[in-house]
């Protein structure tokens, strides 16, 4: 039963009852197949055949979960640490003063990533009751790689950073509308993934302040999924993903100059642009999806010569 409160919509289907709900405000996005109900007490009518999102009650406001309180504290702590280090480094001995004049140099990379998939539903999803929910799940993996940087000018560099990304997987959870005898109503498609990634980036460096410097980067990547031909990815009902992916990367990093090495923590987003979905009309899961794109957030620690 609906009460006079605010509601938040999650990825599911909901059939508008008759007579229509009495609501104060509503916003309907056909392209994303969702209905956001903000308040009650006025009228909003949506087609009864439309796939909507499951309504969950929240207290007086819509909750966005982009950053938790702990995440904000962690970000604030990182900013304060960087400011303290930059202030202190300006007063200390200058380490490796000629490093920025090198034509090229090399390094190693260790990283951790959180990856997920972005799903676009097909018309079959809207017209059929076989699947009620299709939502991606995130997973973590580790990365190891090499680093090669070449100097273009005082502020610009180009960088190649080939990496092996292991330990992560891609996962999609399906909520079935109708099930066979003995079949669970929730089906999880777990797709193991081991990637070889080839990022090529352009870096913009700030002026050096003592033993500290910041930089921005942007570039392109080309990924090869080594697990695409594995037995675990080729079972009968498993969604098929393509072996190759192409995308862009944007990030922010910091250079900390030490006597014998430069340590550079970095965070970046890495988003795929090519459709990974290898359509198979024989699979009910594949029929309900139109496009699958990769999404990744990467934290890296570079050790530069």
Within-domain flag for 2: no
Q: Does 52 reside within a domain?
A: yes
182 shares its domain with 267: yes
**Residues 207, 263 within the same domain:** yes
Residue 122: inside a domain, yes or no?
A: yes
pLDDT number for residue 83: 60
Which residues are CB-neighbours of 219 under 8 A, at least 6 positions away? Answer: 159, 199, 200, 201, 202, 248, 249
Question: What pLDDT was estimated at residue 7?
Answer: 41
91, 19: one domain: no
Quick check: 196 and 223 in contact, CB under 8 A? yes
CA distance 78 to 89: 16
Residue 82 lies in a domain: yes
The whole domain housing 181 covers: 69-304
- Judgement on whether residues 34 and 120 belong to the same structural domain of the protein: no
**Is residue 271 packed enough to be buried (19+ CB in 10 Å), middle (13-18) or exposed (0-12)?**
middle
Q: Looking at the structure, tell me whether residues 145 and 22 fall in a common domain.
A: no
- Residue 234: the pLDDT is 65
The pLDDT assigned to 131 comes to 83
At residue 274, the pLDDT reads 94
How far is residue 35's CA from residue 11's CA, in Å, rounded to a whole number?
10
The pLDDT of residue 51 is 36
Whether residue 237 lies inside any domain: the answer is yes
Residue 232 has a CB neighbour count (10 Å cut-off) of 11
Residues 47 and 134 in one domain: no
Query: Within this chain, do residues 215 and 272 fall inside the same structural domain, yes or no?
Result: yes
Give the per-residue pLDDT at 205. Answer: 97
Is residue 154 situated within a structural domain? yes
How many folded domains does the chain comprise? 2
Asked whether residue 184 falls in the same domain as residue 247, the answer is yes
* Mean pLDDT per 10-residue interval, the chain, length 305 residues: 42 43 38 38 38 34 38 56 54 84 96 93 82 86 96 96 88 83 81 92 96 97 87 69 94 96 97 91 82 94 95
pLDDT of residue 31: 40
11 and 119 in a single domain? The answer is no
184 and 218 both lie in a single domain? yes
Whether cis (ω within 30° of 0) applies to the bond prior to 80 is: no
pLDDT value of position 239: 82
State the CATH number of the domain containing residue 295: 2.40.160.20
pLDDT score, position 216: 98
Verify that 95 and 201 share a domain, yes or no: yes
Domain boundary among 15, 37, 57: 57
286 and 209 fall within a common domain: yes
Among 57, 78, 94, give the residue marking a domain's end. 57
191 part of a folded domain = yes
User: For residue 195, is it within any domain?
Assistant: yes
Residue 281: the pLDDT is 80
């Amino acid at each position: 039963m609906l009460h006079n409160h605010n509601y938040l919509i999650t990825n599911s289907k909901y059939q508008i009852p008759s007579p229509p709900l009495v609501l104060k405000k509503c916003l309907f996005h056909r392209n994303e197949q969702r209905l956001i109900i903000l308040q009650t007490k006025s009228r909003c009518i949506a087609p009864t055949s439309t796939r909507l999102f499951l309504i969950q009650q929240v207290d007086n406001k819509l909750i966005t979960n982009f950053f938790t309180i702990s995440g904000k504290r962690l970000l604030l702590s990182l900013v304060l640490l960087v400011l303290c280090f930059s202030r202190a480094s300006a007063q200390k001995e200058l380490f490796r003063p000629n490093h920025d004049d090198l034509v090229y140099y090399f390094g190693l990379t260790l990283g951790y990533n959180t990856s997920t998939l972005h799903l676009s539903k097909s018309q079959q999803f809207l017209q059929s009751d076989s699947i009620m929910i299709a939502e991606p799940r995130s997973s973590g993996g580790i990365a190891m790689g090499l680093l090669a940087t070449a100097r273009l000018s005082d502020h610009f560099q180009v960088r190649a950073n080939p990496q092996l990304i292991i330990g992560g997987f891609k996962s999609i959870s399906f909520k079935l509308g109708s099930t066979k005898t003995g079949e669970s109503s929730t089906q999880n498609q777990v797709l193991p993934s081991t990637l070889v990634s080839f990022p090529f980036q352009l870096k913009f460096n700030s002026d050096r302040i003592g033993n500290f410097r910041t930089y921005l980067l942007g570039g392109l990547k080309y990924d090869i999924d080594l697990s695409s031909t594995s037995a675990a990815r080729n079972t009968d009902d498993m969604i098929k993903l393509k072996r190759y992916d192409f995308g862009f990367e944007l990030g922010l990093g910091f250079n900390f100059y030490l006597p014998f090495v430069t340590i550079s923590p970095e965070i970046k987003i890495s988003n795929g642009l090519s459709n990974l979905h290898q359509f198979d009309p024989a699979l009910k899961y594949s029929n309900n999806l139109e496009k699958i794109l990769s999404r990744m957030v990467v934290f890296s620690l570079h050790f530069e010569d």
